[in-house]
Structures are given as structure tokens and as C-alpha cells.
Copies of this chain bind each other. A is one copy, B any other.
Amino acid sequence: MKLYDWKLAPNPRRVKMFLAEKHIPVELEEVGEPGTFNLKKDFVARFDPYALTPTLELDDGNCLGEAMAICRYLEELHPEPRLMGKDALGKATVEMWERRAYEGAMFAISELLRNTSPGFVDRGLPGTAETIGQVPELVERGKGRLARFSRSADKQLAKNRFLAGSAFSVADITAYCALEFLSRAMKMTIPSELPNLARWFAEVGERESAKSTAP
């Protein structure tokens, strides 16, 4: 089992944190081109239009893409500790908050970064060698997405220790990896009017899985 990784990027970190929480060892192969914001050409050529990190290569050569699909596979094979919910309502609640965290935070920071950064000219969307122009208007839209998610997450975290309730889950992993990238690489901090989100962010940051996967 080998995980294609891009150590600069927040997306593969979701799977690395998931693996760390479950204490599953994995071989990592870095496919970022050093000193650039590009992935190595042979990786892109092999997986285009889904040349995305993380990608998990199984021992039989089968490859799985999409962070949550990889986590689902690992959760089935290594159920404890459960990171995708226990019963029907628990699993659904994790999935709901994970999807919201993905679209409201992970996807939003991708819109912010890819549509302005000089390193991403002509690569407005990830995963493909095709030319995709930047759309600077998406920066405001990404900020709006992020603000709405952050407000609703703060409200949820006023009543719950973690996003999907009392147990740490993959929803926290997705939100944390996005917001940590935002504060470290993009210098945007959690607004002070969202104290519950800030409390949660500090607490997740103290987990061994967060520390051991920090870039």
C-alpha cells in the first residue's frame, strides 16, 4: 500500500491524519515537484484527469482516488478507532459535516488559492494537464463560502466538542486540514467572533495526528 503525497497540500494531509489516528503505517511517495506548485509530470500523465493527491495504490496495483474514498476503505479494514461514525445516525452526521467542511472550507481555500496565486496560472482546477484559466471573482466567492461554513461550524461547536458530536471524526480532519492551511500558508486567521471554532481548532491542533502530519 502506497500513498501518493504532496506534502505542501492540505488534501493529502486528510488521509495522513486519518492513518495517524488509526496507527496504520503507510509508504509515502512525494509527487510534488520540488520548489514549485506543480505535480511531477509522470504522475499527471498517468492519472490525468484525476491526477490528484492523495491517491492510494493497493498492493495489487489498483488505485483509489478521492480522500474520503481512501478513508472509507481504511475504515472498513481497520474499524477502530471509528472516525466515520458508529450507528446509522452517527455515520450520516459525520458524512453531513464532512461534506460541508469539504465544500465550505477545503473547496473554498482551493478557490481562493488557485484563482489568484501566480503559481497556479492556467491551473484553476486541480487534477488535469489541461489549461484552466483563473477566475479572480472566485476569491470573493471562496471567502463567502468559508465565512458561512465557519459561522455554522461555530454554532455547532458551541454545543458539541467536535463537528459531528462528542467523538472526533473525519469531519474534523477535513475542516482542520483546510483551516490550518489557511492560517499557516495563507495567513488568514479564525475571526475572534467565532470562539467555539477557535477552541476546537486549538484542541484538534494538539492531537498527535495533527502534530505528526504538520508540513
> Whose C-beta in chain B lies nearest to the C-beta of A65?
B96
Q: Chain B's nearest CB lies how many Å from the CB of A105?
A: 13
Contact call B64/A91, Cβ cutoff below 8 A: no
Quote the shortest CB–CB distance from A186 to chain B (angstroms): 21
Question: Would you give 12 A-B contacts (Cβ < 8 Å), ordered by A?
Answer: A49-B152, A64-B93, A66-B95, A66-B99, A66-B100, A68-B95, A69-B96, A72-B88, A72-B95, A73-B92, A124-B141, A138-B138
- With a cutoff of 8 Å between Cβ atoms, the chain B residues found around residue A76 in the complex are 87-88, 91-92
B141/A135 in contact, CB under 8 A: yes
Chain A at the B interface: SS class: helix
Asked if A137 lies at the interface with its beta carbon under 8 angstroms from chain B, I say yes
Asked whether B125 lies within 8 Å of A64 as measured between CB atoms, the reply is no
Chain B residues near A87: list those with CB within 8 A: 76
CB distance from A92 to the nearest CB of B (A): 4
Q: In angstroms, how far is the closest chain B Cβ from the Cβ of A44? A: 13
Contacting pair A88 B73 (CB below 8 A): yes
